[in-house]
Structure 1
Amino acid sequence: MAMQLEALPHRHIVTLPAEPSAVRLARETAEQALAEWGIDLHRPVVDVALLILSELVTNSVRHAAELSPQIMVMYAASGSRLVFAVHDRHPHQPPLHEAATGGGLGTVMELTRQFGGTAAVHGDTDGKSISITLPL
Protein backbone atom coordinates (compact mmCIF):
# COMPACT_ATOMS: atom_id res chain seq x y z
CA MET A 1 0.00 0.00 0.00
CA ALA A 2 2.76 2.43 0.88
CA MET A 3 4.28 2.13 -2.60
CA GLN A 4 0.91 2.85 -4.23
CA LEU A 5 0.53 5.98 -2.12
CA GLU A 6 4.11 7.11 -2.67
CA ALA A 7 3.66 6.90 -6.44
CA LEU A 8 0.96 9.58 -6.36
CA PRO A 9 1.85 13.29 -6.29
CA HIS A 10 -0.54 14.20 -3.45
CA ARG A 11 -0.39 12.41 -0.09
CA HIS A 12 -1.57 12.98 3.46
CA ILE A 13 -1.63 10.73 6.55
CA VAL A 14 -3.47 11.36 9.80
CA THR A 15 -3.58 9.32 13.01
CA LEU A 16 -6.88 9.47 14.89
CA PRO A 17 -8.19 8.00 18.13
CA ALA A 18 -10.34 4.90 17.57
CA GLU A 19 -13.49 6.57 18.81
CA PRO A 20 -16.67 7.81 17.07
CA SER A 21 -15.30 11.33 16.52
CA ALA A 22 -12.70 9.82 14.17
CA VAL A 23 -15.34 9.46 11.45
CA ARG A 24 -16.03 13.20 11.32
CA LEU A 25 -12.32 14.07 11.60
CA ALA A 26 -11.40 11.68 8.77
CA ARG A 27 -14.05 13.20 6.49
CA GLU A 28 -13.06 16.77 7.33
CA THR A 29 -9.40 15.96 6.72
CA ALA A 30 -10.26 14.36 3.39
CA GLU A 31 -12.31 17.36 2.28
CA GLN A 32 -9.51 19.74 3.24
CA ALA A 33 -6.83 17.66 1.49
CA LEU A 34 -8.89 17.27 -1.69
CA ALA A 35 -9.61 21.00 -1.81
CA GLU A 36 -5.91 21.79 -1.32
CA TRP A 37 -5.08 19.39 -4.16
CA GLY A 38 -7.52 21.18 -6.48
CA ILE A 39 -10.07 18.35 -6.63
CA ASP A 40 -13.64 19.56 -7.04
CA LEU A 41 -15.57 18.52 -3.91
CA HIS A 42 -18.85 18.60 -5.87
CA ARG A 43 -17.93 15.67 -8.13
CA PRO A 44 -20.18 12.64 -7.50
CA VAL A 45 -17.17 10.37 -6.94
CA VAL A 46 -16.03 12.59 -4.05
CA ASP A 47 -19.34 12.12 -2.23
CA VAL A 48 -19.01 8.36 -2.72
CA ALA A 49 -15.38 8.41 -1.56
CA LEU A 50 -16.34 10.26 1.62
CA LEU A 51 -19.15 7.79 2.34
CA ILE A 52 -16.80 4.83 1.81
CA LEU A 53 -14.18 6.46 4.02
CA SER A 54 -16.80 6.97 6.74
CA GLU A 55 -17.79 3.30 6.58
CA LEU A 56 -14.17 2.12 6.80
CA VAL A 57 -13.37 4.37 9.77
CA THR A 58 -16.62 3.35 11.47
CA ASN A 59 -15.69 -0.33 11.03
CA SER A 60 -12.27 0.24 12.61
CA VAL A 61 -13.81 2.10 15.53
CA ARG A 62 -16.48 -0.58 16.08
CA HIS A 63 -14.43 -3.71 15.54
CA ALA A 64 -10.79 -2.87 16.23
CA ALA A 65 -10.70 -0.23 18.98
CA GLU A 66 -9.95 -2.74 21.73
CA LEU A 67 -6.72 -3.81 19.98
CA SER A 68 -6.10 -0.55 18.16
CA PRO A 69 -6.58 2.61 20.24
CA GLN A 70 -5.54 4.63 17.20
CA ILE A 71 -6.24 4.28 13.50
CA MET A 72 -4.29 5.73 10.62
CA VAL A 73 -6.04 7.20 7.59
CA MET A 74 -4.00 7.67 4.43
CA TYR A 75 -5.11 9.82 1.48
CA ALA A 76 -3.48 10.15 -1.93
CA ALA A 77 -4.50 11.45 -5.35
CA SER A 78 -3.38 12.17 -8.86
CA GLY A 79 -5.21 13.75 -11.75
CA SER A 80 -6.93 10.45 -12.55
CA ARG A 81 -7.42 8.60 -9.25
CA LEU A 82 -8.08 8.89 -5.57
CA VAL A 83 -6.63 6.36 -3.14
CA PHE A 84 -7.27 6.11 0.56
CA ALA A 85 -6.75 3.50 3.24
CA VAL A 86 -7.66 2.94 6.85
CA HIS A 87 -5.17 1.03 9.00
CA ASP A 88 -5.84 -0.48 12.41
CA ARG A 89 -3.93 -2.93 14.58
CA HIS A 90 -6.60 -5.64 14.63
CA PRO A 91 -5.26 -8.73 12.84
CA HIS A 92 -8.57 -9.84 11.27
CA GLN A 93 -8.55 -9.33 7.52
CA PRO A 94 -12.12 -9.34 6.23
CA PRO A 95 -12.64 -11.07 2.86
CA LEU A 96 -13.87 -8.14 0.77
CA HIS A 97 -15.05 -10.31 -2.11
CA GLU A 98 -17.48 -12.04 0.27
CA ALA A 99 -18.89 -8.84 1.80
CA ALA A 100 -22.68 -8.94 1.75
CA THR A 101 -24.61 -5.97 0.42
CA GLY A 102 -26.64 -3.74 2.68
CA GLY A 103 -24.23 -2.16 5.14
CA GLY A 104 -20.66 -1.80 6.33
CA LEU A 105 -18.21 -3.50 3.99
CA GLY A 106 -21.07 -4.53 1.71
CA THR A 107 -21.82 -0.86 1.09
CA VAL A 108 -18.11 -0.16 0.59
CA MET A 109 -17.76 -2.90 -2.01
CA GLU A 110 -21.00 -2.06 -3.81
CA LEU A 111 -20.11 1.63 -4.16
CA THR A 112 -16.50 0.91 -5.07
CA ARG A 113 -17.57 -1.42 -7.90
CA GLN A 114 -20.35 0.92 -9.04
CA PHE A 115 -17.86 3.75 -9.50
CA GLY A 116 -15.25 1.58 -11.26
CA GLY A 117 -12.85 1.35 -8.32
CA THR A 118 -10.95 -1.38 -6.56
CA ALA A 119 -10.59 -2.45 -2.95
CA ALA A 120 -7.94 -4.49 -1.18
CA VAL A 121 -6.96 -5.69 2.28
CA HIS A 122 -3.27 -5.52 3.13
CA GLY A 123 -2.10 -7.37 6.24
CA ASP A 124 1.17 -6.81 8.04
CA THR A 125 2.71 -7.46 11.44
CA ASP A 126 0.99 -4.34 12.80
CA GLY A 127 -2.56 -5.20 11.71
CA LYS A 128 -4.23 -4.45 8.41
CA SER A 129 -5.17 -1.73 5.97
CA ILE A 130 -8.20 -1.63 3.73
CA SER A 131 -7.52 0.51 0.68
CA ILE A 132 -9.86 1.91 -1.95
CA THR A 133 -8.91 3.31 -5.35
CA LEU A 134 -11.48 5.31 -7.29
CA PRO A 135 -11.13 6.97 -10.70
CA LEU A 136 -11.52 10.77 -10.67
Structure 2
Amino acid sequence: MPTCWRAPSPGPARRPSPATRSLTSPNGDVFVRQNIWPAIAASLGLRPGAHLPLSLDREIRPREAKWQTIRERHGPRSGSLRDFVGLCFEYADTTMGHGRNEPGPPAIVSTIKLMQAGFTEVMDTEATFAKCFAEFQANRLLPSA
Protein backbone atom coordinates (compact mmCIF):
# COMPACT_ATOMS: atom_id res chain seq x y z
CA MET A 1 0.00 0.00 0.00
CA PRO A 2 1.77 3.16 -1.13
CA THR A 3 2.10 6.02 1.29
CA CYS A 4 2.01 9.55 -0.03
CA TRP A 5 4.57 11.76 1.67
CA ARG A 6 4.01 15.50 1.67
CA ALA A 7 6.47 18.08 2.83
CA PRO A 8 5.38 21.38 4.31
CA SER A 9 6.22 24.47 2.27
CA PRO A 10 9.94 25.18 2.60
CA GLY A 11 10.49 27.72 5.34
CA PRO A 12 13.55 29.78 6.13
CA ALA A 13 15.19 26.87 7.96
CA ARG A 14 14.77 24.54 4.98
CA ARG A 15 16.75 24.59 1.77
CA PRO A 16 14.34 24.55 -1.16
CA SER A 17 14.71 21.60 -3.50
CA PRO A 18 14.36 21.84 -7.26
CA ALA A 19 10.89 20.76 -8.36
CA THR A 20 12.40 18.01 -10.48
CA ARG A 21 14.40 16.41 -7.68
CA SER A 22 13.43 12.82 -6.97
CA LEU A 23 14.18 11.34 -3.55
CA THR A 24 14.06 7.67 -2.70
CA SER A 25 13.53 7.11 0.96
CA PRO A 26 13.39 4.47 3.64
CA ASN A 27 10.63 4.94 6.16
CA GLY A 28 13.00 6.59 8.64
CA ASP A 29 13.12 3.59 10.97
CA VAL A 30 16.02 1.18 11.45
CA PHE A 31 15.32 -2.50 12.12
CA VAL A 32 16.91 -5.92 11.82
CA ARG A 33 15.19 -9.01 10.47
CA GLN A 34 15.37 -11.03 13.68
CA ASN A 35 13.49 -8.31 15.58
CA ILE A 36 10.77 -7.73 12.99
CA TRP A 37 9.49 -11.33 12.63
CA PRO A 38 7.56 -11.31 15.96
CA ALA A 39 5.76 -8.12 14.86
CA ILE A 40 4.91 -9.62 11.47
CA ALA A 41 3.60 -12.79 13.11
CA ALA A 42 1.53 -10.80 15.63
CA SER A 43 -0.02 -8.65 12.90
CA LEU A 44 -1.12 -11.85 11.14
CA GLY A 45 -2.48 -13.43 14.33
CA LEU A 46 0.35 -15.97 14.54
CA ARG A 47 3.04 -16.86 17.05
CA PRO A 48 6.60 -16.63 15.71
CA GLY A 49 8.58 -19.84 15.55
CA ALA A 50 12.28 -20.30 16.08
CA HIS A 51 14.53 -18.03 14.05
CA LEU A 52 15.81 -20.09 11.16
CA PRO A 53 17.71 -19.01 8.08
CA LEU A 54 14.90 -19.24 5.55
CA SER A 55 14.87 -18.45 1.86
CA LEU A 56 11.36 -17.21 1.12
CA ASP A 57 11.89 -17.88 -2.57
CA ARG A 58 13.08 -21.49 -2.11
CA GLU A 59 10.83 -22.41 0.83
CA ILE A 60 7.58 -20.55 0.25
CA ARG A 61 7.27 -20.13 -3.51
CA PRO A 62 6.92 -23.91 -4.15
CA ARG A 63 3.91 -24.00 -1.81
CA GLU A 64 1.45 -22.85 -4.46
CA ALA A 65 -0.87 -25.81 -3.74
CA LYS A 66 -1.01 -24.89 -0.03
CA TRP A 67 -1.77 -21.28 -0.95
CA GLN A 68 -4.61 -22.49 -3.17
CA THR A 69 -5.99 -24.49 -0.22
CA ILE A 70 -5.85 -21.36 1.95
CA ARG A 71 -7.65 -19.41 -0.77
CA GLU A 72 -10.36 -22.07 -1.03
CA ARG A 73 -10.81 -22.29 2.74
CA HIS A 74 -10.71 -18.58 3.62
CA GLY A 75 -11.71 -16.89 0.36
CA PRO A 76 -8.98 -14.31 -0.23
CA ARG A 77 -9.15 -12.96 -3.75
CA SER A 78 -5.40 -12.41 -4.15
CA GLY A 79 -4.88 -14.89 -6.98
CA SER A 80 -2.03 -17.34 -7.25
CA LEU A 81 0.95 -17.04 -4.95
CA ARG A 82 3.11 -16.01 -7.93
CA ASP A 83 0.63 -13.29 -8.92
CA PHE A 84 0.25 -12.08 -5.34
CA VAL A 85 3.91 -11.79 -4.31
CA GLY A 86 5.62 -11.17 -7.66
CA LEU A 87 9.35 -10.86 -7.02
CA CYS A 88 8.95 -9.94 -3.33
CA PHE A 89 10.44 -13.22 -2.08
CA GLU A 90 13.62 -12.74 -4.10
CA TYR A 91 13.83 -9.12 -2.98
CA ALA A 92 13.38 -10.07 0.68
CA ASP A 93 16.02 -12.83 0.42
CA THR A 94 18.49 -10.34 -1.01
CA THR A 95 17.80 -7.46 1.34
CA MET A 96 17.73 -9.71 4.39
CA GLY A 97 21.03 -11.31 3.45
CA HIS A 98 19.87 -14.89 3.06
CA GLY A 99 22.81 -17.16 2.22
CA ARG A 100 25.51 -14.74 3.35
CA ASN A 101 28.26 -16.17 5.50
CA GLU A 102 29.32 -12.74 6.65
CA PRO A 103 27.18 -9.76 7.54
CA GLY A 104 26.48 -7.49 4.62
CA PRO A 105 27.18 -3.79 4.61
CA PRO A 106 25.16 -1.74 7.08
CA ALA A 107 21.77 -0.81 5.71
CA ILE A 108 21.47 2.43 7.65
CA VAL A 109 20.47 5.16 5.24
CA SER A 110 20.73 8.89 5.85
CA THR A 111 17.51 10.85 5.67
CA ILE A 112 19.22 14.24 5.87
CA LYS A 113 18.29 15.33 2.31
CA LEU A 114 14.68 14.39 2.96
CA MET A 115 14.55 16.43 6.15
CA GLN A 116 16.22 19.36 4.42
CA ALA A 117 13.50 19.17 1.75
CA GLY A 118 10.82 19.34 4.46
CA PHE A 119 9.98 15.65 4.92
CA THR A 120 10.29 15.30 8.69
CA GLU A 121 7.91 12.47 9.55
CA VAL A 122 8.97 8.86 10.04
CA MET A 123 7.02 5.61 10.03
CA ASP A 124 7.55 2.76 12.48
CA THR A 125 8.37 -0.42 10.57
CA GLU A 126 6.36 -2.71 12.88
CA ALA A 127 3.31 -0.43 12.67
CA THR A 128 3.70 -0.22 8.89
CA PHE A 129 3.71 -4.01 8.52
CA ALA A 130 0.64 -4.26 10.76
CA LYS A 131 -1.14 -1.53 8.74
CA CYS A 132 -0.32 -3.17 5.39
CA PHE A 133 -1.41 -6.64 6.51
CA ALA A 134 -4.64 -5.18 7.96
CA GLU A 135 -5.32 -3.47 4.61
CA PHE A 136 -4.59 -6.73 2.77
CA GLN A 137 -7.07 -8.48 5.07
CA ALA A 138 -9.68 -5.73 4.71
CA ASN A 139 -9.39 -5.99 0.94
CA ARG A 140 -9.60 -9.79 1.14
CA LEU A 141 -6.10 -10.34 -0.22
CA LEU A 142 -5.10 -12.26 2.93
CA PRO A 143 -7.27 -14.29 5.30
CA SER A 144 -8.32 -12.53 8.49
CA ALA A 145 -6.21 -13.20 11.55
The TM-score range, normalised by the shorter chain, is 0.3 to 0.5
Which structure dedicates a bigger proportion of its chain to strand?
A: 1
Bigger radius of gyration: 2
Between 1 and 2, higher relative CO (CA 8 Å, sep ≥ 6) is seen in: 2
